[in-house]
Amino acid sequence: MNSNSVHQLAFIAGFKLLAEHVLMNNEAYYPGLEGVIAGETEISTVDGGLIYRGYPIEELAEKSTFLEVAFLLLNNKLPNQEFLADFQSILSESAVVPEPVLNFLTEIPLHSSGMDSLRTGIGALAHFDSQVDESTKDANLAKAVRLLAQIPILIANRYRITKGMKTVPPNPELSFAANILYMITGKDPSALHEKAMDVSLILYAEHEFNASTFTARVITSTMSDMHSAITGAVGALKGPLHGGANERVLEVLQEVGTADNAEAWVRDAFAEKRRIMGFGHRVYKEGDPRAVILRKYCQELAEETGNQEMEKIADTIEELVRSEKGLPPNLDWPSARLYYYLGLDVELYTPLFVASRIVGWAAHVIEQAENNRLIRPRSRYTGMEKQPYKIMSDR
Residues taking part in catalysis: 281, 332
CA distance 265 to 112: 32
CA 380 and chain centroid, separation? 29
Give Cα separations from 84 to 78, 180, 313, 358 (angstroms).
9, 19, 41, 18
Burial 323-359 (b: 16+ CB within 10 A, else e): eeeebbbbbbbbbbbbbbbbebebbbbbbbbbbbbbb
Which residues are within 8 A (CB) of 356 and not within 5 positions of it... i.e. 6 or more apart? Answer: 66, 200, 201, 202, 203, 204, 205
Given a contact cutoff of 8 angstroms between Cβ atoms, the answer to whether 199 and 297 are in contact is yes
Nearest to 333 by CA among 245, 269, 256, 257: 245
Could you tell me the maximum CA-CA distance found in the chain, to the nearest angstrom?
Answer: 87
- Mapped onto helix, strand or coil, the DSSP state of residue 331 is coil
DSSP string, 56-120: EHHHHHHH--HHHHHHHHHHSS---HHHHHHHHHHHHHH----HHHHHHHHHS-TTS-HHHHHHH
Which residues are within 8 A (CB) of 217 and not within 5 positions of it... i.e. 6 or more apart? Answer: 39, 209, 229, 364, 365, 368, 375
Give Cα separations from 326 to 91, 294, 323, 367 (angstroms).
43, 20, 6, 36
Nearest to 278 by CA among 267, 266, 291, 289: 291
Rg (Cα) of the chain, in Å, rounded?
Answer: 24
Which residues are within 8 A (CB) of 251 and not within 5 positions of it... i.e. 6 or more apart? Answer: 346
- Please state whether 100 falls in left (phi above 0), alpha (psi between -120 and 50) or beta: alpha
Give the phi and the psi of residue 45 in degrees, each rounded to 5.
-145, 150
Given a contact cutoff of 8 angstroms between Cβ atoms, the answer to whether 229 and 319 are in contact is no
